[in-house]
Chains A and B, each alone.
Chain A
Amino acid sequence: MTTSPIKTAEDKSTTQMNKAAELISVSKKYPFVKTAHKDIGSDFKEFWALRDVSLDIYQGQVLGIIGRNGAGKTTLLNIIAGVLSPTQGEVIVKGKILGLFNLGVGFQDELTGKENIFLNGAIVGATREELENKLNSIIEFSELGNFINMPLGTYSQGMRLRLAFSIIANLDFDILVIDEVLAVGDALFQSKCFQRLMDFRRAGKTLIITTQSMELIERLCDRVTLLDHGSLLFQGNTLEGINRYRSLLNTEEFFVGPEKQKVCLFENTKKWAEDVSNWGQKLGTKEVTIDSVEFINKFGLKSNQIKSKEPLKIKVYFTAKDNIKEPHFGIAIFRNDGVYCYGPNTEFDGYKIPEIKAGRGWFALDYHQILLAPGEYQVSVAIWDKNETLAFDYHNGCHKLIIQGPRNTNGLLRMPFKVYPKSFINFRRSDINVDLNTLIDKWGKRIETDQIIIESVKLLNYLNEEKEVFKTNEPVKLLINFSKLINYSKNAYLWVGLYRDDGVYCQGITQGLGKGKNFKIVFPKLPLLPGGYRISLGIWDSLSRRFLICHHAVYPFHMVFNRQDHGTIFLEHKWALSTKEMRIK
């Protein structure tokens, strides 16, 4: 179970109001019976659906209960409505309470709509006379017309909702509980329901609703309660609650065991962050807010245009509302098509920040060298709580960074390397701009010619041992041996492409062929981050603009690292914090 460090906010404005219902430290445990099914019994001895939930529900207010699936919302509603009884704690309800739970509940398919009105009405405690008096208004509100005399089995989900809501909406109650069913109705009926609910609110009735539609919550609710894993995370202002819920939604995977939780969390955040459609969003509970983000070049000047292979400092100013224990900072760079370049955070880097004090402050990330190819990038900045379950503030892909360089390339990276033998042939760089479009559909395939034969391609570590797995930042040599290399023009060049397993073009290397048949490419430090990679190799004729030979993504290798990191390339960096509280663990 995840506990949030965020305390429940008390809103003082409501203390003078009358309580319609009150939950005092309510917990609910579901018992599980022995079954012939061994699978269920082993892991699920018992299940606490709610833990220590205290809640005040004020008369005439609309309370929204939000949280992810399985957070305990329905259990909570059932307990308020008296359908379930709490295992621990106490529930005090004043007045008559009605509930609208799952559709089809309380209905009999064999009976007609009209007959179901009487049955359903009787179940929720209405007398026959009351129902007979209200029959017409119920049928009218439902707009079911002649269908009211058809068996309920012929109804669609939406029609069932119409009937169910119409019955409830015409009966007398003090508190109404509605569980996630309104979404089934069509837009017209939904707005009709909405109108009726507003009428109830004006009439001083108390409403408690759950729905995944934050729009509805925002329009309808006076207050919200945020539940997660059976615990109450927040109670108070609607917008604030919705924000907290949204940030919760984006940070954590569902029912994962505590030991797996952390890894999944990172993975999930990564996936979410890489989705370009989520960019530009600012999320978080705003306990700490990011005020501004600055890019600083090697001269110490603010500029979002940085030269490739030069130092870059990213400085983030923030304001904390309160003292925050053990926050984490993270900054991630994405290429503007969503490719994750690098996203270090203080957690991965082993920095421990005991506390940030209330007030303004800043933190900074210093890159020694931005080994990224020229192009446009987006930067995400986040301040997390200590468990990384909640972001205090999260600017996702909000800050544009432009990397400038000598020429545009298709690649992502500019990792330093050396090629032997050095070519003495002069060429204009634009001439050898390899057209990668000619390689579409050739992934993993070979374009061959009998003029040229590639004898071997080897990857060596610093001990000259042939390997397929390397550690990030290990020296790597690539040996290429042609056994036959005849009849090529002066316009032919060796091209070596580094690809990520998913097809992202990391870096291309071009080199004049010279006279030799053996080539050696040396990376003094190969900074690629863990994952699968592939090497492409070819000879490009810049006059005919085609490959004479090409083995495209044929040679795989793997990268591993002794620590967690996100992205494609490790960029050397260090963190700094305004107050000198940051220290390496």
Chain B
Amino acid sequence: MVSIIKDVIAKRSLIYQLVLKDLKIRYLRPLLGFFWAFLSPFLVVVIFYIVFSMILKVKTEEAPFLLYLMSAVFSWRFFQDSLLSATTSLVDNKNLIKESSFSHYLIPISIVLANAINFFPSLVIVVVTSLFVLKGLPIYILFLPIVLGIHLSLAIGLSIILSIAYVKWRDIKYILEAVLLFLFYLTPVFYSIKLVKDSFSPFLFSAYIYNPLVGILNLYRATILKDFFIYIEKYVSLSSLIIVPAGFAIAILVLGFYFYKKNKNSINDYLSY
């Protein structure tokens, strides 16, 4: 594990190049370039607002619905995009990999990082909107980098596992799409957690809470939305809110690197065809 972290640090210029490559490919050709990183989440907010607020008239007690939605939907989209593009990344980039003795995990890492950079402008939009709408930010905003770190680690760990597995088992892509759709509804992106508490049995609810994404999304909200923390504490204890996602993230990351170590010798064999 330590050796892998050392390797990642040593290869930082390669990671930088790979991230740069990914972003360049994404934004070089569109006329608006990187501005799309702001524009596209903004458009999503507009559509969601029209659908959920104006047509379906969903209301949330925790915060104004638009903010409640924005604070989760972007981080969810980051997570989903990262996993989907990272899963096929080794196969997509096999012409890079087959040239040299390559630490394969650098590819999914760089994909997740590129997605994170892509995610950053929307995060800024949410924070600024929250600042103006709620007239202030919670003190917990200082912990936002930690939340980001947990989220990133979880995404990287999963991406490494999925991308390596995908080299051998190409069915994974389709399974992942289905699982992500299911997870989306299992996570309080556009509904209040209160709804779940009311309709689920206590056992089911605690199971629901142990979904690390529930924790992560609520952590985002707690660090961005003023007074959200006080509200969420009624449903979820602080410890499970932090420990569950963090624990998951570390476990998945370790598992990911272990999985790499076990498979690294055969990855290129399967990549050949």
Q: How far is the CB of A167 from chain B (nearest CB, A)?
A: 11
* Contact among A83, A110, A122, A124 for B28, CB-based, below 8 A: A110
Q: Are A99 and B13 in contact (CB under 8 A)?
A: no
Contacts of A107 in B (CB 8 A): 95
Contacts of B16 in A (CB 8 A): 122, 128
Contacts of A30 in B (CB 8 A): 269, 272
Contacts of A521 in B (CB 8 A): none
Q: Are A104 and B95 in contact (CB under 8 A)?
A: yes
Contacts of A81 in B (CB 8 A): 100-101
A110 vs B27: C-alpha distance in the bound complex, in angstroms?
11
Q: Which of A111-119, A219-227, A284-292, A428-436 contacts B (4 or more CB under 8 A)?
A: A111-119
Q: Are A123 and B21 in contact (CB under 8 A)?
A: no
Of all chain B residues, which has the CB nearest A124?
B100
* Contact among A78, A99, A122 for B14, CB-based, below 8 A: A122
Q: Are B21 and A106 in contact (CB under 8 A)?
A: no
Q: Are A83 and B270 in contact (CB under 8 A)?
A: no
Contacts of B169 in A (CB 8 A): 33
Q: Are B21 and A111 in contact (CB under 8 A)?
A: yes
Contacts of B268 in A (CB 8 A): 78, 83-85
Contacts of B266 in A (CB 8 A): 31, 85
Contact with B along A24-41 (1 / 0, CB 8 A): 000000110100000000
Contacts of A125 in B (CB 8 A): 14, 100
Tally of A-B Cβ pairs under 8 angstroms:
82
* Contact among A31, A99, A108 for B99, CB-based, below 8 A: A99
Taking the complex as formed, is B265 at the interface, i.e. its CB lies under 8 A from any CB of chain A?
yes
Q: How many residues of A contact B (CB 8 A)?
A: 31
A42 vs B250: C-alpha distance in the bound complex, in angstroms?
43
Contacts of A105 in B (CB 8 A): 95-96, 98-99
Q: When A106-B95, A110-B25 are in contact, do A122 and B13 touch as well, CB less than 8 Å?
A: yes
A65-122 residues at the B interface, CB under 8 angstroms: 78, 81-85, 97-99, 101-102, 104-108, 110-111, 115, 118-120, 122
Taking the complex as formed, is B252 at the interface, i.e. its CB lies under 8 A from any CB of chain A?
no
Of all chain B residues, which has the CB nearest A103?
B95
Q: Are B269 and A31 in contact (CB under 8 A)?
A: yes
Q: How many residues of B contact A (CB 8 A)?
A: 26
A141 vs B136: C-alpha distance in the bound complex, in angstroms?
59
A122 vs B95: C-alpha distance in the bound complex, in angstroms?
14
Classify the interface of chain B: helix, strand, loop or mixed: helix
Q: How far is the CB of A518 from chain B (nearest CB, A)?
A: 70
Taking the complex as formed, is B102 at the interface, i.e. its CB lies under 8 A from any CB of chain A?
yes
Taking the complex as formed, is A127 at the interface, i.e. its CB lies under 8 A from any CB of chain B?
yes
Q: How far is the CB of B115 from chain A (nearest CB, A)?
A: 18
**Most A Cβ at <10 Å: residue of B24, B96, B99:** B99
Q: How far is the CB of A270 from chain B (nearest CB, A)?
A: 35
Q: Are B17 and A122 in contact (CB under 8 A)?
A: yes
A82 vs B266: C-alpha distance in the bound complex, in angstroms?
12
Contact with A along B157-199 (1 / 0, CB 8 A): 0000000000011000000000000000000000000000000
Contacts of A104 in B (CB 8 A): 95
Contacts of B168 in A (CB 8 A): 33
Taking the complex as formed, is B18 at the interface, i.e. its CB lies under 8 A from any CB of chain A?
yes
A104 vs B96: C-alpha distance in the bound complex, in angstroms?
9
Q: Are B18 and A119 in contact (CB under 8 A)?
A: yes
A33 vs B91: C-alpha distance in the bound complex, in angstroms?
15
Q: Are A115 and B99 in contact (CB under 8 A)?
A: no
Of all chain B residues, which has the CB nearest A116?
B21
A99 vs B16: C-alpha distance in the bound complex, in angstroms?
22
Contacts of B13 in A (CB 8 A): 122, 127-128
Q: Are B17 and A118 in contact (CB under 8 A)?
A: yes
Q: Are A123 and B269 in contact (CB under 8 A)?
A: no
A247 vs B105: C-alpha distance in the bound complex, in angstroms?
46
Q: When A30-B269, A128-B13 are in contact, do A123 and B28 touch as well, CB less than 8 Å?
A: no
Q: When A31-B270, A83-B268, A105-B95 are in contact, do A119 and B17 touch as well, CB less than 8 Å?
A: yes
Given contacts A111-B21, A115-B20, A124-B100, 17 further A-B contacts (CB under 8 A): A31-B269, A85-B266, A99-B99, A99-B100, A101-B99, A102-B95, A104-B95, A106-B99, A108-B21, A115-B21, A120-B99, A122-B13, A122-B16, A123-B99, A123-B102, A124-B99, A127-B13
Residues of A that sit less than 8 Å from B by CB: 30-31, 33, 78, 81-85, 97-99, 101-102, 104-108, 110-111, 115, 118-120, 122-125, 127-128
Chain A to chain B contacts (Cβ below 8 Å), 27 pairs: A30-B269, A78-B98, A81-B100, A81-B101, A82-B101, A83-B99, A83-B101, A84-B268, A85-B265, A85-B268, A99-B100, A102-B98, A105-B98, A108-B96, A115-B21, A115-B24, A119-B17, A119-B18, A119-B20, A119-B21, A119-B96, A122-B14, A123-B17, A123-B100, A125-B14, A127-B13, A128-B17
Top 8 closest pairs, chain A to chain B, by CB: A82-B101, A106-B99, A85-B265, A122-B17, A122-B14, A110-B25, A105-B95, A105-B99
